Chain A
Amino acid sequence: MTTAQDASGPTGFRLSQLIYDTRYRSITIQIVVLFLVMAGVGWLVDNVIRNLNDLGKDFNYSFLWQRSGYDIGNALIPYNNDMTHGRAMLVGLINTLWVSFLGCITATFLGVIIGVLRLSKNWLVGRLMTIYVEVFRNIPVLLWILVAIALLTEAAPSPNQYRVNAQTGEAGASMVLESVAFTNRYTAIPSIHFDRTLGSLDTALAPISLDFLAIVIVLLGSYFVNKMLVNRANRVQEATGVRPPTLWKSLAIWLIPVVVLLFALGVNPEEPQLKGFNFTGGTNVSNAFVALWAGLSLYTAAFIAEIVRAGILAVSKGQTEAAFALGLRPSRTMRLVILPQALRVIIPPLISQFLNLTKNSSLAIAVGYLDLRGTLGGITLNQTGRELEAITLMMLIYLVISLLISGGMNIFNNRVKLKER
């Protein structure tokens, strides 16, 4: 009875308040929605478990440690069919990351140029860039990838056509500069060969070439020495107003150590040779990879161009006029005044373009480039019949990649955004 009295009192709490009192209503709704969502998820999970039971299937990832038995044409790390499905997945993952990485770089490069040129006062250049943007962003990326692969396969000669005809003595197709061969399977390019190699360091993932490691170390050294030089020049300039010339010194610091090292290692290009059915000796860059890379880059570049254009237009015209008034030339105005301010508008949408490009790279399946979707979500899934496991794992990996890209780009964004003091 006491409780009933309390509840009806002016300070008491009645259940109806949960619905009619604005202080509690939003919380009530949130809790109800949360329960509904959880019930929905629970129902789905239960459904999956029950259906797996009905099919007599279990849910486990032990297949990742079994022998894969299939070969991958374009592996960046050592791989053969005796290795595990897990290793095959890793090969696919690295292929995904590689094409996404290169794609993001070329798309940004092209996008910035096209975005800036679209604002050009030159009528023809501006219109041409408009056409580029409208054509590329309004046609699905899959079609661009297919167009690229069709061009590469149909237009280029087969490796066999590079051969000198044995009967007629007729020369075959000729290689560009005697060292690059475009074929309908791949582009054969020279690879770098070291006569006095330092060997390589074996790690579980992939052997690391000590030659390349040495080059990277030397370049890093050059970078730091050069930085010291520039810092010193800055100090002198601030103290005296006269900047000591640094160009020749910088060039020397960058070039001389590397050239000396390369000479010591005896670097020389190893040119591709037609042996048997295919070119060997050099590096064969598969058409599937080039088509995917080109398709993704050209498509995403159109979006990035629009983002760059929007970013530039977001910087008020007064900034340009002020820069001109100070006597800066248009190119320096763009580089020193406009772009730095535009970046804070550009970077957030740029992140989502990078994410899009990375996710779109799963279209590799259309051209037979074995990325994560092709290995884990394709051949492994098919050969083991572990659909649910493979797809779940693949989704998780793509999620992690996307979050990492987005996290990294957010850090970059925080560094370049306008600092208000």
Chain B
Amino acid sequence: MKKSVFFGALTVASLAAGVAGAATLDDVKARGELICGVNTGLVGFAAPDANGNWSGFDVAICKAVAAAVLGDPSKVKYVPTSGQTRFTALGSGEVDLLARNTTWTFSRDTDLKLQFTATNYYDGQGFMVRKDSGVTSAKELDGASVCIQTGTTTELNLADYFKANNMSYQPITVDSNAEGEQQFLAGACDAYTTDASGLAATRAAFANPSDYVILPEIISKEPLAPAVRQGDDQWTDIVRWTIYGLIAAEEYGITSANIDELAKGTDNPEINRMLGTEGNLGAMVGLDKDWLVNAIKAGGNYGEIFAATIGEQTPIGLARGLNAQWTQGGLMYAPPFR
């Protein structure tokens, strides 16, 4: 017994736990709980409140998936992950789903053996500076000290951007958004760079948000997408189509307010298929008939989630922009439910 404990500990130390079985869905059902990797704290995307309840745009994805799979959006365990630990946490099976404003890139998709499900936020990297510094464009940042979160794509974009513009800078590496915020406020860096949505969320949490400006330049494409481990196609499909379900729900006008009404049956066959009154799409991914009903009830459709967590009515105040429905000139486009 002792020996097995000893070897067990050694194994954990050597490989951070074995790879979880291929069938994540079975694991989650058996556990009765979805383990979701989220940000350590980024207001609007994922942050715990004073009572330890998590909320935010990324957290809403966790809740929707938990509702689709387990029928209860509260059955989620949130594991805060840093930019450095997130992929190890997912790869080692510590979390079932990584909903942590993570950029979808080629090498992460292939070499890191991740599976990005569907983009839930189209973002780009920006810079924030103090208003009294007088800087109005990122091109004026030559020689500046820039705070940057380590282990992120933004770190590489920053190097590329300054090189392309023939400028120099002093990187100040920080481990989390909280540390970056603190260093930036203390004046240890002239500019703070991360995804523009993250900058807006960070600025909203400042004591005097109006003393800081986000520069107009967006220097990269950052499609943020929840990710799962490669090699479990069923689980990938579940997460992907839950997100598409939320997006499609907005397109077809299914909201948390009218969903009970619509779930009784409508004249629109697409809505009927989604909500399980016609055919049985849920069974095709190993879930109940009303999986999407539960998912949408959890926090509303994509538009409702956006408005409640990061939209223009919130302190973060992000416009829909690229994240509007394709019918509104945005990029949000769910494939047909058929």
Contact = CB atoms under 8 A, between A and B. Distances in A.
Nearest to B83: A382
A159 to B, nearest CB: 8
Contacts of A48: 14-15
Contacts of B133: 160
B150 to A, nearest CB: 6
Interface in A147-195: 153-154, 158, 160, 184-185
Interface string B16-41: 10110000000000000000000000
B155 interface: yes
Contacts of B230: 55-56
A382 B150 contact: yes
Contact of B142 (A57, A69, A276): A276
The 9 A-B pairs of least Cβ separation, nearest first, read: A382-B151, A158-B187, A385-B112, A276-B143, A81-B159, A277-B144, A368-B173, A69-B156, A54-B19
Given A69-B159, A73-B173, 12 more contacts: A55-B91, A69-B156, A70-B155, A70-B159, A71-B158, A71-B169, A184-B186, A277-B190, A368-B172, A379-B173, A383-B151, A383-B155
B143 A55 contact: no
A130 interface: no
B144 A382 contact: no
A388 B112 CA distance: 12
B10 A378 contact: no
B187 A278 contact: no
A28 interface: no
A310 B177 CA distance: 46
A385 B111 contact: yes
Interface residues of B, number: 49
Contacts of A160: 133, 187
Interface in B304-321: none
B145 A280 contact: no
Contact of A56 (B83, B113, B189): B113
A387 B88 contact: yes
A309 to B, nearest CB: 37
Contact of B186 (A47, A56, A153): A153
Q: Which of B11, B141, B143, B187 has the most CB of A within 10 A?
A: B187
Interface in A376-392: 378-379, 381-385, 387-388
Interface in B185-218: 186-190
Interface in A356-396: 365, 368, 370, 374, 378-379, 381-385, 387-388
Nearest to A57: B113
Interface residues on A, range: 35 or more
Interface string A71-96: 11100000001000000000000000
Interface of B: 7, 10-11, 14-16, 18-19, 83-84, 87-88, 91, 107-108, 111-113, 133, 141-145, 150-152, 155-156, 158-160, 162-163, 169-175, 183, 186-190, 230-231
Nearest to B157: A69
A128 interface: no
B142 A44 contact: no
B155 A55 contact: no
Contacts of B15: 47-48, 51, 388
Interface in A18-59: 40, 43-44, 47-48, 51, 54-57
Contacts of A43: 7
Contacts of A280: 143
A329 interface: no
A275 interface: yes
Contacts of B107: 385
Contacts of B11: 44, 47
B143 A277 contact: yes
Nearest to A39: B7
Nearest to A81: B159
27 contacts: A40-B7, A44-B7, A44-B14, A47-B18, A70-B159, A70-B171, A71-B159, A73-B171, A81-B159, A153-B186, A158-B187, A160-B187, A184-B186, A184-B188, A185-B145, A185-B188, A276-B142, A277-B143, A277-B144, A278-B143, A365-B175, A368-B173, A378-B150, A378-B151, A379-B151, A381-B84, A385-B108
